[in-house]
A and B are shown apart, each in its own frame.
Chain A
Amino acid sequence: MNPPEPPEQLQKPATAIPSMAQVSRERKPAASTVLQKIRTSHPRASRIPDAVFAVIILLSAISVFAIVVLVAWELIDKSRLSLHQFGIAFFYGHDWDPVEGSFGAVPFIYGTLVSSFLALLLAVPASIGVAVYITEMCPQRLRAIISFLVELLAAIPSVIYGLWGIFVLAPLLREYVEPFLARTLGWTGLFTGPMYGLGMLAAGIILAIMVVPVIASITREVMTAVPQNQREAVLALGATRWEMIRMGVLRNARIGIVGGIILGLGRALGETMAVTMVIGNRPEVAKSLFAPGYTMASVIANEFSEATGDLYLSALVEIGLALFLVTLIVNALARLLVWSITGGTARVRA
């Protein structure tokens, strides 16, 4: 671009290359005057929606922080009595005896963590399998149907899962699965003791079924988002189908998959109704997965309405606080895990 020419040059006869000013003087399309008018009449008008939009977005973003802080504050405030009475001992106390007025959170923290991790152990391979089948192997026609069915699983109310757990899963576990596990894996100590059907194992399985749709649909999304050229790159090197899926798809999608697992874990940690119906609701720490347990969400749901006395109520709210903290810590650890796997580098680029 030439710098703008001084005005006196405009008076010169046109040379081979006319200046910009000359060009604009020569051509005067009808629209330009209209445009001129629009441009000069509201010089700053277009900025107002921008500013409004920015404020609205900022408020939404702040509201997320505000809600978290409010929830935390409310939990701390309402559990003040219990916090004062037991102090830090609440978080390592094993006793839960409302009659004696002694409260400890360990059985519930244990129950929540064990049932959730058991659920992940079962659900993660299943979900990845479902996602791989849908994106890589399934005939085009079936694809939409299977995806829909998997997502439908997420829409079933959890009380229905609970009922199914009581009437179908528990008898199955009691009659067939638990005796088999006791015979084959009893030596580990994880599968011993009386077989009720209801218990930690049942809770883990129900939770697994409930988190499969969450993990599977997110895994499917991120696998679909892996560019086709990554698959071609691996195939062209002479990879089998499984090698292509492993190296070209799963490897590229792994951050998203871990994200899906974290969401699934979040659901498992907080799930209340179905777990309450099948876990057995006994506040103790048992090594065997056959034994009944109790989770933080379950004890709040079960005992809140019958909590007599301020200390009891306050202790239940403090369980809520513990659940809040456990969720935060688990999520933070999961993020840290993602960060360490990837070495802090970015995600798949298209």
Chain B
Amino acid sequence: MGVGIEVRGLNAWYGKNQSLNSIDMTVLANHVTAVIGPSGCGKSTFIRCLNRMHETIPEARAEGSVQVGEMDVYGSGSDPVEVRRRIGMVFQKPNPFPTMSIYGNVAAGLKLNGFRNRKQMDELVERSLKLAALWEEVKDDLHKKSGASLSGGQQQRLCIARALAVEPEVLLMDEPASALDPISTSKIEELIFQLKQHYTVVIVTHNMQQAARVAEFTGFFLMGSLIEYDKTEKIFTTPADKRTEDYITGRFG
């Protein structure tokens, strides 16, 4: 089951440039929450702060409080490796491991976790591929084909399966469908809708229709600040803030 996320006073920097200004946001467990906003508004930075991927970029740093379930992500005793094991992430550009088979890709996270039991691993790989709606398409080539030999949409679902295999509590998706064609996109969206039964999903998207289709809650970011955060319907029908309205009606961004 997924867990909720409490973000309090989150600030982030790239070198001297502040890219997030004290963000407060509560993400409900087992729901899909979308983060929208124009390019450079800090939405990707925001979700990369949730699993401490932000700090892997040279000179980038973040401060504030992020509570994921029981885990204090930026607490003094918190280990980024442990954080990332419990919070899965899917990136904008599909990034399967080209030197590994399809099976190897899904099992990669399990192996990192010290998983050795072959039979259980087979089961987990199958389960993850089924969850990612890729099983039927690849079940005959699990060991034969490389992760890079799949189509773009399949690669992205493979990356989702890889993230799900380690049974995270939260799944972060950074524009997961922006590099894909409409058919692959709708498959991914359908999948996201299914996933909320088991996971808390936070998805960054610059496609507002996508946010409207998949998310129950939507946050609008602008220039590093969270301008408005509410039920998706409310954001897209009667936004409280003028800037949100301008953005969703296409007056800028």
Chain A residues packing against B (C-beta within 8 Å)? 140, 227, 229-240, 243, 247-248, 251-252, 254, 342, 345-346, 348-349
Contact = CB atoms under 8 A, between A and B. Distances in A.
A66 B17 CA distance: 59
23 contacts: A231-B56, A235-B53, A235-B56, A236-B51, A236-B88, A236-B89, A237-B166, A238-B81, A238-B82, A238-B84, A238-B112, A238-B113, A239-B112, A247-B97, A247-B108, A251-B97, A251-B100, A252-B97, A342-B99, A345-B146, A346-B98, A348-B98, A349-B148
A240 B53 CA distance: 13
Interface of B: 51, 53, 56, 58, 81-86, 88-89, 91, 93, 95-100, 108-109, 112-113, 146, 148, 159, 162-163, 166
Given A237-B84, A237-B166, A238-B81, A252 B113 contact: no
Contact of B99 (A227, A243, A254): A254
Contacts of B53: 232, 235-236
B85 A237 contact: yes
B81 A240 contact: yes
A165 B48 CA distance: 53
Contacts, number: 72
- Taking chain A's interface residues, is the majority helix, strand, or loop, or is none over half, making it mixed? helix
A134 to B, nearest CB: 15
A230 B97 contact: yes
B99 A348 contact: yes
Contacts of B97: 230, 233, 247-248, 251-252
A217 to B, nearest CB: 22
Contacts of A229: 91, 93, 95
B136 to A, nearest CB: 24
A252 B105 CA distance: 13
Contacts of B148: 349
Contacts of A232: 53, 56, 91, 95
A45 B163 CA distance: 56
B166 A238 contact: yes
A243 B112 contact: yes
